[in-house]
Structures are given as structure tokens and as C-alpha cells.
Amino acid sequence: MHKKVAVVFAMLVWLAVPGIAAAQKLVFVTRHAERADEPARNQDDPPLSRAGEQRAARLAAMLKDANVKGIYVTAFKRTQQTAAPLATALKLESQVMPLNVTAFVSALKKDHADDVVLIVAHSSTIPGIVKALTGSSVEVSESDYDSLFVVIPATQTTVRLRY
């Protein structure tokens, strides 16, 4: 399975190389990993569960050699914890993205014009982020923790991988 992902990733990077430098080379967009829901405590900002921690480690292993230059998360603990293993491995600091998707994507295009970036968001915000980057429509269900969207803004390409 990892070989398939590597082949798809290599093809996507190859497609991005001749692209116009008007947008990021490549953007990975994923939902935070599984959260530790404890309804009795009624948590507003739950951390990751053990399964979520394992998924975050898998994400880091997959992307550690992808030349990621920027990592963006939301203000919630679960997105930050999902990105943390990769940020640590790459010695990068995750940046909290603004709530305004249009402003965020505009800043992203300016600050990372020719970079590979990772965005860790939520099922409710990923569709807007992908739409702003490429015009593509995607859906992310509440139970979807394993989608990794590979987005090439210059060619308006979006591919969904599972990890």
C-alpha cells in the first residue's frame, strides 16, 4: 500500500513542477486525527485518542520526506496534536491559520508561493479550503479521519488518498 501512495505522490509532484508559480506547489489538507471523546466531561477542546496519536505518527512518516515547508493548524488541540509529530521531525513550528478562509488562502499563496505545505483542519472547514485553493468540491464526513487531500493549486488538481 505504501508503494502505491509513493507512486501517486511522485506523479503528483511531477505534475506540479511545470505548473505556474501563481500558487503553492503542493498542499496536503487533512482532518485532525481521532479525538478522545469523553462525553461525561463535555470537553470543548478534546485531545487526540490513542488511535489519533497513532494516525498522527503515520501522517508524519508519510510526509517526512515530502519537503513540507509550512504547517498550518487551527486553534484546537486536536489539529495541533495531529501536526506535531511532523512539525517535530521537520523542526518546523505549526502556524495557527486565521478563521477567514479567503484571507488564509491569499496569505498562503504569498507566503508559500512555491512550497509544499500541510494544513490540518476540520471536517467542516476542509471543503472551503480545498474550494478556495482549486475550485474543487470535496466532502468530509464526521467519521472521516483517514482522508489526505493532495492539492495542486496551479493545475487545480485534487486527489484524495487514505492513510
141/109 Cα distance (integer angstroms)? 27
Contact 120, 31 (CB under 8 A): yes
For residue 123, what is the domain's CATH number?
A: 3.40.50.1240
Spatial distance between the Cα atoms of 48 and 37, rounded to a whole number of angstroms: 9
- What's the pLDDT at 140? 97
User: Which residue range is the domain that position 153 belongs to?
Assistant: 2-162
What integer pLDDT is reported at residue 12 of this predicted model? 56
At residue 8, the pLDDT reads 57
Q: The pTM is what?
A: 0.85
Q: How far apart are CA 139 and CA 45, in angstroms?
A: 23
44 is written with which cell numbers? 470543548
Q: Do the beta carbons of residue 147 and residue 140 sit within 8 Å?
A: yes
What is the DSSP pairing of strand 116-121 with strand 26-31? parallel
For the chain, 163 residues long, give each residue's pLDDT as a single digit of tens: 555 555 555 555 555 544 434 446 899 999 999 999 765 565 789 999 999 999 999 999 999 999 999 999 999 999 999 999 999 999 999 999 999 999 999 999 899 989 999 999 999 999 999 999 999 999 999 999 999 999 999 899 999 999 9
pLDDT at position 18 is 45
Q: How many domains does the chain have?
A: 1
pLDDT of residue 15: 53
CA distance 33 to 145: 5
> Which amino acid makes up residue 137?
S
